[in-house]
């Protein structure tokens, strides 16, 4: 951030009075610009003992497999975001269930939420950001070609809970990755 989005003047990094961290402060109009983490919302969408995965057509992790997920937008709920991303990335209609996983990714200022869901009619096809979509059973999950650690975590916990016979909420705080693996 270099300029004030309110008045267009240059901003400066400075600790405001009563605060403890440096903020982007505009001396022209007095606005303090805070930077906050973004929510990424995804869905484990089930259909007849299989779940819906998408192969990414965009960076980062082009060509790798992921659960349908993306940045939450203003003026929607977390559940609506999960359903919208599933529709956008996999052209699939889903009924959103309970929250299943919360994954903190503080080194990139993101919090990932994954909801359980059920496909309405089992139909799916790649949206603009996907190369292909697939309904996969556990033995067909491409464990070595998953796009993100948060997706791996959600899938591992999903199948573990499925074997135990009940789903509960799972949480994880991710450290910075070894390489380009988010």
Residue selected from 16, 37, 60, 63 as contacting a copy of itself according to rule CB under 8 A: 37
Assign 3-state DSSP to the chain and report helix, strand, coil percentages, each to 5: 20, 35, 40
User: CA-to-CA distance for 54 and 21, rounded, in angstroms?
Assistant: 39
Binding flag, residue 143, a copy of itself (CB under 8 A)? no
Q: Of 118-137, which residues contact a copy of itself (CB under 8 A)?
A: 128
Q: What distances in angstroms separate CA 30 from CA 4, 8, 23, 33, 35, one per listed residue? A: 10, 12, 12, 10, 16
Binding-site partner at residue 26 among Zn ion, a copy of itself, none, CB < 5 to 8 Å by type: Zn ion
Please give the Cα distance from 83 to 90 (Å, whole number): 10
User: Does 169 participate in binding a copy of itself (rule CB under 8 A)?
Assistant: yes
Q: Residue 13 Cβ, how far from Zn ion at the closest point, in Å?
A: 14
Contact code string over 54-83 relative to a copy of itself, x by CB under 8 A:
-----------------xxxxxxxxxx---
Supply 129's token pair: 């950001």
For the chain, the first-to-last Cα distance in angstroms comes to 23
Residue 173 sits in the site that holds a copy of itself (CB under 8 A): yes
Residue 179 in contact with a copy of itself, rule: CB under 8 A: no
Please select the residue that binds Zn ion; options are 7, 58, 108, 120, rule is CB under 5 A. Answer: 7
Query: Minimum CB separation from Zn ion for residue 26, in Å?
Result: 3
Is 12 one of the binding residues for a copy of itself (CB under 8 A)? no
Asked whether 29 and 6 are in contact (CB, 8 A), the reply is yes
């Amino acid at each position: 951030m270099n300029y004030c989005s309110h008045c267009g003047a240059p901003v400066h990094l400075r600790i405001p009075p009563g605060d403890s961290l440096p903020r982007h402060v505009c001396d022209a109009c007095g606005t303090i610009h805070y930077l906050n983490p973004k929510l990424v919302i995804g869905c484990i969408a089930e259909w007849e003992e299989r779940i819906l995965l998408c192969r990414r057509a965009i960076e980062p992790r082009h060509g790798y497999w992921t659960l349908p997920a993306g940045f939450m937008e203003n003026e929607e709920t977390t559940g609506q975001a999960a359903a919208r991303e599933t529709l956008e990335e996999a052209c699939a209609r889903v009924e959103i269930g309970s929250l299943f996983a919360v994954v903190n990714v503080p080194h990139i200022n993101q919090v990932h939420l994954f909801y359980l869901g059920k496909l309405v009619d089992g139909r799916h096809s790649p949206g603009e950001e996907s190369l292909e979509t697939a309904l996969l059973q556990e033995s067909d999950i491409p464990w070595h070609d998953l796009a993100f650690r948060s997706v791996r975590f959600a899938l591992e916990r999903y199948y573990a809970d499925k074997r135990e016979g009940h789903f509960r909420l799972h949480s994880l705080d991710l450290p910075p990755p070894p390489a380009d693996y988010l």
